[in-house]
Structure 1
Amino acid sequence: MLWSAGSNGHGQLANGSLIDSHIFSPCSFLGCLPGTLPQNRKLVHLAFGANHTLALLESTERDGQKVTELWGCGDGNAGQLGPSFIGESIATFRPLDLLLERNGLAGYLPRLVCASWQTTYAVMSCPAMPDVLISIGANDFGDLGIGAIRAKPVRDFHIVGLEHFCAGAVAVALLAAGQHHVVVRLAGGPIVGWGTARHGQLGAVETPFLPSPAVLTPARADVIHAALGHQHTVFLHAAGTVSGLGSNRKRQLHGIGNRTRARSVACTWNGTYITTDDGDLLSTGSNANGQLGHADSDDAVAFPFTAATHQLLHVACGSEHVLASFAAGPTTEVWGWGWNEHGNLGVGTTEDVRLPCKIWPPDSSQAQSGRVSIWAGLGTSWIAVQSH
């Protein structure tokens, strides 16, 4: 089961309408009952642009081989949902046909997906073959990574050139995007990026945009995860330390270089969130909408419970709101806070939530067994419950 709440002017919540939803409503996949996934498929990941949503689904074939599919909904005007939906908005998840076979990628399947404002990125993989990173959609700030600042929507995807950064075959280990910049870590190779760079979010560069991938400097090779805000980039390193690039105008990088024992990093547009091995959630940056979850003089999110009753599982950052899931006895709870103009916290109002409040399950009758996953997009929130 998959539920969503929040901004929905282009159908990006996949609930069959174009109206914002202030409570969590079931999502629809083509040919399925509301809330349910296509038969024999599980949800691997969701990714979000300004007004479009991508869903990576996985199924297992009879021979035991896993097969992945890319579905999408919302705004396709710039080509970000592929050639079938250019100029359209679709309010239910539908399979995206990227014309892979016609473009020489027969046998390739999507493995990693992310999105910037009006652009979609997917790492396509095929056994014994190099990875291929494709981009499709808008290119206002060099988002496509194809060497131009602007380009009109095209009917086919672009291939982002990564070969000359690799000693061997291209293998992508990490893919992340902000509003208009992208970061990729190549297995056994460097970290590269492209897009907007004027605030230093892509390292020490002399131009406001990087229309083609370039090596990020300084950037260490031991990065295991990256999170991107509007004008900053944050890295989690294998030793549990954290580093950042870009703007600190809203204190979004304040003190992060002193953190140790970090377990994960995430970013809102203007904030940074770090979970630690001790189960804490630390936040810094803009608090204009209560998105830090604490007073400006503190650094730990102010949850009304302790680690004795709630174990932090996962944190998801949207544009300027945050979700966190916890194991609370036999139940998984989801808490949320921050910007709520579109009802994206699913609490039935459009008022900002300045301190964490429980948003799932709404009541004990809706608690369900299964693995609970959370995602947050641009004014949207998502909760999935899938069988173990």
Structure 2
Amino acid sequence: MPTLHACGSNGGGQLGIGHVDDVATFTPCVFDPSCPPFERVVDLVSAASHALVLVSADGHNHLLGAGTNSHGQLGKVCVLTECASPATSFRPLSIAVDAGFDGWEPVKLAATWTTSFVALQSPDGSSVRTQVIVAAGSDDFGELGGGIIRLKEGERVEHLGGGQRHVLAVLVSGSGDGRKQRVIGWGSARRGELDPSPQPDKGKSKARMRFLAPTELTLDLPAPIIDISLGASHTLLLLADGRVLAWGNNMKGQITDLGDMTGVRAIGATWNGSYILDDQFWSQGSNTHGQLLRSDSGKTRAPRATVTAGGEGIEAFAAGSEHILALVRAGPRTDLWAGGWNEHGNLGLGNKTDSAQLVNTSIHASRVWAGCAASWALVE
């Protein structure tokens, strides 16, 4: 079966590769013997110096983590140690137990700069299956949201995402014609990242609070939300009808006219850029490190334009802090292509030179994740 590999920034041991040195080629991750033998990787998120992995073993999900625990973002106590030093291999975490939910199963993950978020579901056999979102780590911009975010009766977490300092959760209740979604957000709010209301075309923007507690956002949803992606201070939502909702900071042009696009299949946000996949691959926003993957590298505010890659077309992609990983169809397999900021070797190309275009890493991968100058791939 595929194995998890990583490259890039690793000063906190967050790549989980057994040491704290940056690496510029994809390197197998290390899993502590205390981890259950798992069948698949369900999801992975990472931020400044820690990473969380959700794996499936024996029909249940398990939460693993690696990296620095200076703010308690890996929980109060790891299985083997209190993590005074970086955890350089993935190991089970205690976040659910710390919050008083021992036996609850992790189902969704998110992370901001130094904070972790885990959606938990009550154990099998519970009279009513209930979900909560628990947070662990720093609270500089209210990211913890009080530590435990309780859902309404019958709700479950459908999407959970973190930007640099803000968090969004799409909650769903009911089924069929009675299915309803609502969106809550919390954390940093000064730049409008939690304010989807239309802004005036001219004049001074309205004053905003520095941060928000968990708050339901007022949204007009003509179709269900099927994905979310958060940048440093802007927010993207993808709807089932192929349209995009976008709000927040637009100083780099990262959300300009995104609402006009149709037929969108996938979205992604770097810190100061937005990426859209329809029949083509589009990018807009900051291009100071070539992260928009096109010829106008160096621009601080670049308009939307197309990105190209070899093979038979981009099937999926992941957006990191300022780099992109793309899975490109090449006959019966998918090749991993990478481009953008590469200061820590996070493109996996064997060097630390920025790339203003997507480059084939020669890695055959089935899934990719991108974090803060860090990359992970399920390698075939």
TM-score (norm 2): 0.86
- Shift of the alpha carbon at 1:218? 4.1
- Shift of the alpha carbon at 1:209? 3.0
Give me the whole-angstrom Cα distance separating, in 1, the residues matched to 2:317 and 2:51: 19
Give me the whole-angstrom Cα distance separating, in 2, the residues matched to 1:372 and 1:268: 21
- Shift of the alpha carbon at 1:38? 5.3
Q: 1:185 to 1:99 in 2, by over 3 A?
A: closer
- Shift of the alpha carbon at 1:121? 0.3
Measured against aligned partners, the alpha-carbon deviations of 1:20-65 in whole angstroms (never above 9, x if no partner) come to 1111111100029xxxx953431111101211000100012xxxxx
Judge conservation of contact 2:292–2:340 (CA < 8 Å) in 1.
Answer: yes
Give me the whole-angstrom Cα distance separating, in 1, the residues matched to 2:38 and 2:218: 44
Question: What code does the residue aligned with 2:113 have?
Answer: W
Give me the whole-angstrom Cα distance separating, in 1, the residues matched to 2:33 and 2:84: 23
Query: What's the counterpart of residue 348 of structure 1?
Result: 350
- Shift of the alpha carbon at 1:99? 5.1
Query: What's the counterpart of residue 13 of structure 2?
Result: 11
Give me the whole-angstrom Cα distance separating, in 1, the residues matched to 2:251 and 2:183: 24
Question: 89, 104, 118: which one pairs with 1:108?
Answer: 104
Question: What code does the residue aligned with 1:191 have?
Answer: V
Question: What code does the residue aligned with 1:83 have?
Answer: K
Question: 149, 171, 183: which one pairs with 1:191?
Answer: 183
Measured against aligned partners, the alpha-carbon deviations of 1:163-217 in whole angstroms (never above 9, x if no partner) come to 3xxxx33311111110100011110242110111111110158533334111223
Identity level (%): 36
* Higher mean displacement: 127-136 or 1-10: 127-136
Consecutive unaligned residues in structure 1, runs of 5 or more: 61-65, 147-157, 362-366
Query: What's the counterpart of residue 202 of structure 1?
Result: 194
- Shift of the alpha carbon at 1:301? 0.5
Consecutive unaligned residues in structure 2, runs of 5 or more: 173-179, 198-205, 297-302
Question: What code does the residue aligned with 1:8 have?
Answer: N
Judge conservation of contact 1:125–1:131 (CA < 8 Å) in 2.
Answer: yes
Query: What's the counterpart of residue 264 of structure 2?
Result: 262
Query: What's the counterpart of residue 177 of structure 2?
Result: none
- Shift of the alpha carbon at 1:329? 0.5
Q: 1:198 to 1:8 in 2, by over 3 A?
A: same
Query: What's the counterpart of residue 138 of structure 2?
Result: 138
Give me the whole-angstrom Cα distance separating, in 2, the residues matched to 1:52 and 1:40: 21
Question: What code does the residue aligned with 1:183 have?
Answer: L
Q: 1:201 to 1:40 in 2, by over 3 A?
A: closer
How many residue pairs align between the two structures?
Answer: 347
Query: What's the counterpart of residue 289 of structure 1?
Result: 289
Question: What code does the residue aligned with 2:104 have?
Answer: Y
**CA-atom RMSD in angstroms:** 2.0
- Shift of the alpha carbon at 1:352? 0.4
Q: 1:143 to 1:40 in 2, by over 3 A?
A: closer
Say whether residues 1:372 and 2:378 are aligned partners.
no
Judge conservation of contact 2:76–2:94 (CA < 8 Å) in 1.
Answer: yes
Give me the whole-angstrom Cα distance separating, in 2, the residues matched to 1:331 and 1:200: 41
Query: What's the counterpart of residue 201 of structure 2?
Result: none
- Shift of the alpha carbon at 1:106? 4.1
Query: What's the counterpart of residue 176 of structure 2?
Result: none
Q: Following superposition of structure 1 onto structure 2, how do residues 55-204 of structure 1 map, counting pairs within 5 Å?
A: 55-60=53-58, 66-84=59-77, 85=82, 87-98=84-95, 100=97, 104-126=100-122, 127=124, 128-146=128-146, 158-163=147-152, 168-187=153-172, 188-203=180-195, 204=197
- Shift of the alpha carbon at 1:235? 0.9
Judge conservation of contact 1:79–1:87 (CA < 8 Å) in 2.
Answer: no
Judge conservation of contact 1:182–1:194 (CA < 8 Å) in 2.
Answer: yes
Judge conservation of contact 1:191–1:219 (CA < 8 Å) in 2.
Answer: no
Question: What code does the residue aligned with 1:52 have?
Answer: H
The residue matched to 1:257 in structure 2 has which SS? helix
Question: What code does the residue aligned with 1:116 have?
Answer: T
Q: Following superposition of structure 1 onto structure 2, how do residues 172-251 of structure 1 map, counting pairs within 5 Å?
A: 172-187=157-172, 188-203=180-195, 204=197, 206-218=207-219, 220=221, 222-251=224-253
Say whether residues 1:385 and 2:379 are aligned partners.
yes
Give me the whole-angstrom Cα distance separating, in 1, the residues matched to 2:145 and 2:95: 18
Give me the whole-angstrom Cα distance separating, in 2, the residues matched to 1:95 and 1:21: 24
Give me the whole-angstrom Cα distance separating, in 1, the residues matched to 2:347 and 2:91: 25
Measured against aligned partners, the alpha-carbon deviations of 1:256-286 in whole angstroms (never above 9, x if no partner) come to 111100011110000111111x2x2111111
Query: What's the counterpart of residue 301 of structure 1?
Result: 307
Question: What code does the residue aligned with 2:305 have?
Answer: D
Judge conservation of contact 2:181–2:224 (CA < 8 Å) in 1.
Answer: no
Question: 51, 56, 62: which one pairs with 2:49?
Answer: 51
Give me the whole-angstrom Cα distance separating, in 2, the residues matched to 1:16 and 1:298: 40
Judge conservation of contact 1:144–1:211 (CA < 8 Å) in 2.
Answer: no
Q: 1:215 to 1:243 in 2, by over 3 A?
A: same
Q: 1:40 to 1:186 in 2, by over 3 A?
A: closer
